[in-house]
Amino acid sequence: MTDGRDGRVERGNQTRRLILGRTVDIASVEGLEGLSLGRIATELKLSKSGVFALFGSKEELQLATVRAAVAVYVEQVITPVRDLPPGPGRVWALCDNWLRYSRERVFAGGCFFYGVSAEYDARTGPVRDAIAKARRDWVTYVERTLDKARAAGGFVPGLDVGQVAFEIIALMEAANAQSVLHGDDAAYGMAAKGILNRLRAEATDPGSLPHRP
């Protein structure tokens, strides 16, 4: 009996992963409002009742999609730099990971959070709150990475962490927007150049950063 129950749980987990793998791509292109239990059931040839049993409502499907996108984002952008020593090199590696994540279309529509933020920025409710939290967590992580680099002596003591974080995130998101809208991947090179110039201007040893992307 236990084995049977465990098998059903694992099948349910597999189905959930299958669904969320599809919903993150749909939402990155069409927005979270493009999701529905019926649509997912039809596209993946699943029973609507089975999808409903896993998620319960469109809102829960949307929230689960945001959580799934966070997990992918962390895996692609943040996890690879966690073991690097604090310093300008770690900050640059984080930015380079982000640009690659967008350029290589880890999500079909480019940066998932850039797209859904524009969709929900003027709304209220749990989905908007989940997106806002993910965005705040990312900004906080960039700021903390910059601040640790400053504390380790890699940046000048007077580094304005909030300002630099704002500027480098703006450059990354501008590259994402231009590439998605115009199919112009040259924007990633321009963003990388701008980020490196900004970091070198604040580094105690500009030579510790690459001169070009």
Q: Which tens digit of pLDDT belongs to each residue from 149-158?
A: 999 999 999 9
Q: How far apart are CA 94 and CA 82, in angstroms?
A: 9
R_g of the chain computed on alpha carbons: 20
Please state, in angstroms and rounded to a whole number, the distance separating the CA atoms of residues 76 and 84. Answer: 15
Measured between alpha carbons, how far is 102 from 70 in angstroms, rounded to an integer?
Answer: 14
pLDDT digits (tens, 9 = 90+) for 95-109: 999 999 999 999 999
Nearest to 88 by CA among 168, 3, 8: 168
In this structure, of 10-14, 64-68, 157-161, the range with the lowest mean pLDDT score is 10-14
How many angstroms separate the Cα of 79 from the Cα of each of 2, 13, 71, 83?
A: 35, 24, 10, 8
* pLDDT classification of 172: cutoffs 50, 70, 90: very high
pTM for the predicted model, two decimal places:
0.92
| 3-state secondary structure (DSSP) of residue 118 | helix
pLDDT in tens, 183-210: 989 999 999 999 999 999 999 999 999 9
Q: Closest Cα partner for 102 from 184, 35, 163?
A: 184
To 10 degrees, what angle do helices 112-120 and 126-151 make?
Answer: 130
pLDDT at 4: 58
Domains (range + CATH), the chain: 59-204 (1.10.357.10)
11: pLDDT confidence band, cut at 50, 70 and 90? confident
